[in-house]
A and B are shown apart, each in its own frame.
Chain A
Amino acid sequence: MRREIPLLITGIVGIVFIVQYFIPHYPFGRMSDWFSDWFSIVASCAILLGALNLMKMSVLKVISRKGDWIYALITIACFALITVIGLAEGRDFRDTGTGFSWLYDYVYSPLSSTMFAILAFFVASASYRAFRARNFEATLLLLAAFFVMLGRVPVGDVLTGFLPESMQMSHLATWIMNIPNTAGQRAIMIGIALGLVSTSVRIILGIERSYLGGE
């Protein structure tokens, strides 16, 4: 029963969402509304589970004094700080002037933004070291990147300003994005969608069971 009930749940819920697309009226429309509400609640519990699991792992690391346990202690302390402040401040926890808002603006935002910002350096370094026009396909990739990178900044039009407007960099970049890029993206999109449809059918029919894990 540990596997049968989940498979039954998957099948019923999946079929309801398929049917409601074509018959949005009662009862399928109502059932899909209920299921959407449940999804929202379960999704939030999944996030809470992730946060609590992280704390569980960090606490175990601190207790065992393994490796960089001091950093796990810092993680726990920061989690506790923002959680206590956020929960204590009530529904207005995001208002300007609250402790939570301060932590968001001056701790969370700078850290998360900088984490992604340093990728700029890595992308440049990787391009310098690895991006080689070894064959025709790689050259095509390189040229497309070249035209798009130059065409999407004003300097591209400055460099090609002597050409007719339709041949300037920005127009070339627009053409590349709207025509060959669209064609390639569309092929990928259709391929993924067809694969997704077949996987969804397998999941709903209970043929695909890997999401249940082992016994």
Chain B
Amino acid sequence: MNEPATKHRIPEFIVGAVLLLLAIVAYIGRRADWFPPIVLGTAASVVVIILIAASLAWILIRTIQGHQAERRIVYLYIGIAVTLPLFMSLTQKISISPEVQTLYNGLAALPPGSKVLATFDYDPPSAPELQPMAETFFRYAFHNDLKVIVIGLWPQGPQQANLALNKILAEDEFKQMNLRYGVDYVNLGFQSGNEFVIQRMGSSIRSMFPADIYGTPYDSLPLVRNVRNFSNIDYSFNLSAGYPGTKEWVLVAVDRYGLNLGAGNTAVQVTEMYPYVRSGQIIGILGGMNGAAEFEKITDQIDKGTRFMLSQSFAHMVVIAFIFIGNVAYFTIERKGKR
């Protein structure tokens, strides 16, 4: 990486020390209630937006003049575009896309007592996109008396599932439901083998998952005791961040064993799933944080997925602005060069 070519070298450790001091003050101050959390009202938010737009216009002018913005300036803008909306109190209207509506309809058609196989195929880096989907799904499932069987093709998956379950089960309304592990939900844990795990589950789930995540034998769990293979599963909800994931479930479980599958994917891989959605191999799909927000809206549970969409909007606008700036400068400079 290139060293910063600044004329006046500010001692970096002084800046770092000041920032650390501010962090300590903020940390202690909030816990001791010295000051309230920061909230930017509508007026303040509009002022911030105008300032960001004005500074982007200044970058456009500078770029046309031949001074391309240094990469750290771009990083700073992205950081600001993502951070400041977290403090804003602006709200946005989330519209439901057909794919999310289809997934919801598939879930809504399940009668109470249906067995749903929830497959967690992601790790912590994908949690901002998929964890809200997981939490929304669990709330919906428990509200509607769906019995949930959790497994994972990624080792971190069942642990992420437990994080979501622990959060949901700690909420008052679910505490009152007296949901029982092994009867209303169960976590069978992780097994290695990728698509071969799915292949084996097609003949016998018990053979691939002889015990749950805590070591309790499969036959000791009332919820899964009579679940032999996919023919005893009413619906599968897959959360996937890569390989193995939704595609492998389609290849092995859907087309071979006729499993009904709804999926939530990270935005990176959701574009590849649209052919499966169109052909009906996947019954609806949630794509990225936007999909999480739509899922929250359609199930009437507004949480982090919706809250983060404002930052998402700002980030997209800034990226589009930078692409626009780069192209305007490119064409302007090219035209000057041709004259």
Contact = CB atoms under 8 A, between A and B. Distances in A.
A162 interface: no
Contacts of A35: 196
A133 B327 contact: yes
Contact of B92 (A112, A120, A158): A158
B290 A131 contact: no
Nearest to B69: A128
A129 B330 CA distance: 10
B214 A128 contact: no
A132 B328 CA distance: 9
Given A40-B196, A43-B193, A154 B274 contact: no
How many chain B residues sit at the interface, stated as a range, is 35 or more
A177 interface: yes
Contacts of A150: 316, 320
Nearest to B189: A94
Contacts of B312: 153
A36 B274 contact: no
A60 B204 CA distance: 45
A24 B257 CA distance: 12
Given A127-B326, A149-B316, A154-B93, A36 B193 contact: yes
A107 to B, nearest CB: 11
A121 B75 contact: yes
A33 interface: yes
A127 B99 CA distance: 29
Nearest to A128: B322
Contact of B204 (A33, A120, A170): A33
A128 B326 contact: yes
Contacts of A117: 125
B301 to A, nearest CB: 18
A194 interface: no
A200 interface: no
A9 to B, nearest CB: 16
A181 B228 CA distance: 38
Contacts of B214: 91-92, 95
B297 to A, nearest CB: 11
B330 A132 contact: yes
A44 B192 CA distance: 6
A181 to B, nearest CB: 6
Contacts of B326: 127-129, 131-132
Contacts of A181: 271, 274
Interface stretch (A63-71, A77-85, A182-190, A207-215): A182-190
B124 A109 contact: yes
Given A39-B193, A39-B196, A153-B312, A127 B319 contact: yes
29 contacts: A33-B207, A35-B196, A36-B199, A37-B208, A40-B196, A43-B192, A95-B214, A96-B162, A112-B125, A113-B124, A116-B126, A120-B315, A121-B74, A121-B75, A125-B75, A128-B322, A131-B326, A133-B327, A146-B320, A150-B320, A153-B290, A153-B313, A154-B92, A174-B97, A174-B99, A177-B274, A178-B274, A182-B274, A189-B275
Interface of A: 21, 24, 29, 32-33, 35-37, 39-40, 43-44, 47, 91-92, 94-96, 104, 108-109, 112-113, 115-117, 120-121, 123-125, 127-129, 131-133, 142, 146, 149-150, 152-155, 157-158, 170, 174, 177-178, 181-182, 185-186, 189
